[in-house]
A and B are shown apart, each in its own frame.
Chain A
Amino acid sequence: MTASRLLLLSGLLILFALPPQWYPQAARVQLSQWFGAAAFRPLPASVDYASAEAEVFCPPDLSGWRNERVIEGLTLPAVAGCVPDNPWSVATAIRGSNNVSADTLSKSGFTSDAVTKGRDLDGDGDPDEIHIRLEVVELNGASAEQPAPVTEYSLAPGIKPGLWVFAPKLAGMATENFESNLARPNLRLPSPTLRVEQGDRVYITLENTHYMPHTLHLHGADHGFVDSTGEGNDGVPITSEMPVMPGGARRYELTPRSSGTMFYHCHVQPHVHVMMGLQGLFIIEENRPDNWLQTINIGAGSVRHPSVAVRENYQQEYDLHYLDLDRELSAEIQRNNDPRLITRAMHREYDITDASSDYFVLNGRSFPYTFRESLIVTEPGQRTKLRVVNGGAKGIALHTHGHKFTVTHKDGSRVPEAARFPQDVVWLGTSQRADLELSSVNDGVSSYGAGIWPYHDHQYQGVTTDGIGPGGNISAIVYRDYLDDAGWPKTLGTSYTPYFTEEFYRKEIPVWEAYAPGQFSDPGSDWRLVLRIALLALGLGLAVAAVLPRRR
């Protein structure tokens, strides 16, 4: 075939294949005037989404941990929410791991020296010598062999960023059992809330079970710059002491004279270590007689055994620990196994000044897991104390639906009565704390009545998980009438099904697919256009062949 014929053929093919919607606007108008509108052709149908397998919303309480329990002479009230703390861990945290039976200790998971309680120094019926031991645990870290992370912990379905936490000292393995990759239930984010009494002689030993240096800094709590032996006690590597090296330990001590909601965190490369999760609430309760405190509140959240002073004014108490996490930072411990490479990646290559936060957690979980553990369950006429810390890099604008709360304390200091007012948003900058009084008296200000009232960070990234909503730190204040027997809220809205799938948070499911299938789904493809483009390519190919010089 001659070149000119080939060119002609290709020209015709191109003209035929060129989709009319690509013609110049003027040409389209002219053609419409001559031939009228093209025939109706339906838009591509929506893609069918097979419904993904959802997790169980509220796992059944097989071991009866939610029931009222009498352990070690302590009556622990029933838990209304879905997933409670291990009651033996709670009882041991109150009595001391040195004071409970072998059976209680074994069920608690603690070692015998995890939280020991000694003499009653002021003779008021409770122990005043408290020794807490903390280890450093990596969750979702690299494996030397398998692709999945080890000591696995999920913030939300399928969300497993690398994390570091201070953990109470637990006997035995880090995983549930040998065949499991999952972290045992007491190993989790956030680092536990620690509770001591004003005037207690408190020792905290940091046992560095991790592969990097760490320290402990008691932010806001009354502690000496040096301890009783003259060693540094502030946890700051530059000014106070050498960091605790892997395999090493250091005992910090304090006898706090003032009470309040404080904070503790690692102070080695804090922009990295604190943001990896090495931070927790540190609460100093007012001194009262017979004040047996729940020294360790694993996973923060509901305080099953509030202090005497708190019980004077409140029916219940919750610890709320807010944190945001950067996916890029978290991933650094999952890429390599060599601590030298991890150290370089985290502390030199990672640049927090260019960072953004992706995960927003309340008590170590994001929605919908927050509904399992961090619902505030109340009933009309109750007063609830909330101790809130924002440990994240971003501020939080904590907002309650259906309620106005009062800030009674800021950073552990009492707010004078005259300065208090009902508010529904409180701003907490990084590391700030607030004690909130939440009243469920239906008076048109404190509460607008019974219901399921969300509470969340009102900054909009905070209610997402890596940009997918609903996620982030959303939880709810739920009145008992709106809670079913299993502890799950009797909500009136959409199904939870999509939110309990990994696919939803992997951005694979259209957000409204569960209740409007197809309507806002992804459209299918226009195969006719695909065919035209294929022909167009053929035509252009022929044209190029016609123009190129022939081989001799």
Chain B
Amino acid sequence: MKPKRLLALFWTLFLAHGSLAQEHDHHAHHNMSVSDSGMVMYENKTTLPRGCDQISEDIELTIHAGAKYAENTPGMTFGMSQHEVRAPGCSRLTITFINEDQVRHQWMVHGLPKYLYSAGMFHLEAMAGRQVTGTFIVPPDDRTYLVHCDMAQHMEKGMKGQLVIGRGSGNLWSVRGVSDAFNRAPYLPDTTWPLAALALLLVAGVVTRLRR
């Protein structure tokens, strides 16, 4: 697949219900609860998404976050105790997000339907050393949603995950333990290119000799 098409695939997975013009003020929201521990935004404990007759399952999950969860992953700074969450369609997820760092972290799901989650997202933010709990109900379709921390560079440096509903709709890139880095640095030893050139010359020489 050409890089351009790969990117397109990435964006379709990523930006699901995107519409640039719709929201300007991310902070003029409804449905927000703020405390010294952090905040829960766009919580939904009761309203069923279209196509759901009932809650299929109640799932409770605890997710830890912090620099500690990147310790065994080379090239990462921050991380979560799990980077993939799987759940059936129409399930109700209650996430307890525990921040073990001395700085803020977030656990946000994107691409949820806007008729139910006005910015298309569900958002938890835990202050340093605190925990927050929030609940949301997922739509019935098989889809993969982006989960991340939206602090500058936190997604890039390890806090990217995915929420797979049903069979999902394919993996996102750069999800730790799930998929490869989309922009992977080459990590080549310095001698690679001279050795490759040497090999090329060697092969050319040998083949020329054999053909005589």
Chain A residues within CB distance 8 Å of chain B? 102, 106-107, 109, 111-113, 135, 137-139, 141-146, 150-151, 169, 171-180, 183-184, 187, 207-211, 245-249, 336-341
Contact = CB atoms under 8 A, between A and B. Distances in A.
Interface string B3-18: 0000100100001001
A144 B107 CA distance: 18
Interface string B159-187: 01000000000000110000001110100
Contact of B101 (A143, A151, A247): A247
A138 B119 contact: no
A150 B153 contact: yes
Provide the main secondary structure of the chain B interface. loop
A301 B25 CA distance: 24
Interface of B: 7, 10, 15, 18-20, 23-27, 32, 34, 36, 39, 41, 66-68, 74-75, 77-78, 101-104, 106, 108, 110, 119-121, 123, 125, 127-128, 150-157, 160, 173-174, 181-183, 185
Contacts of B153: 138, 141, 150-151, 210-211
Contacts of B74: 340
Contact of A337 (B41, B108, B181): B181
A171 B67 contact: no
A396 B23 CA distance: 42
Contacts, number: 141
Contact of B26 (A176, A247, A336): A176
A109 B160 CA distance: 24
Contacts of B41: 172
B67 A209 contact: no
Contact of B34 (A102, A107, A138): A102
A249 B26 contact: no
A100 to B, nearest CB: 13
Contacts of A174: 150-152
23 contacts: A111-B104, A111-B127, A135-B103, A139-B152, A141-B156, A143-B183, A145-B10, A172-B39, A175-B150, A177-B24, A178-B110, A179-B18, A207-B102, A208-B102, A209-B152, A210-B153, A211-B153, A211-B157, A247-B101, A247-B103, A249-B103, A337-B181, A340-B75
Given A144-B181, A207-B128, A247-B68, 15 more contacts: A137-B152, A141-B152, A150-B156, A174-B151, A178-B121, A208-B102, A208-B103, A209-B104, A245-B67, A247-B102, A249-B103, A340-B74, A340-B75, A341-B75, A341-B185
A339 B102 contact: no
A339 B75 contact: yes
A70 B65 CA distance: 40
A170 to B, nearest CB: 9
B187 to A, nearest CB: 8
B183 A144 contact: yes
Contacts of A211: 77-78, 153, 157
Contacts of A176: 24, 26
A479 to B, nearest CB: 34
B39 A247 contact: no
Contacts of A341: 75, 185
A249 B156 contact: no
A379 B118 CA distance: 47
B20 to A, nearest CB: 5
Given A150-B153, A337-B157, A337-B185, A249 B128 contact: yes
Given A178-B121, A337-B181, A151 B23 contact: no
B183 A337 contact: yes
A175 B34 CA distance: 19
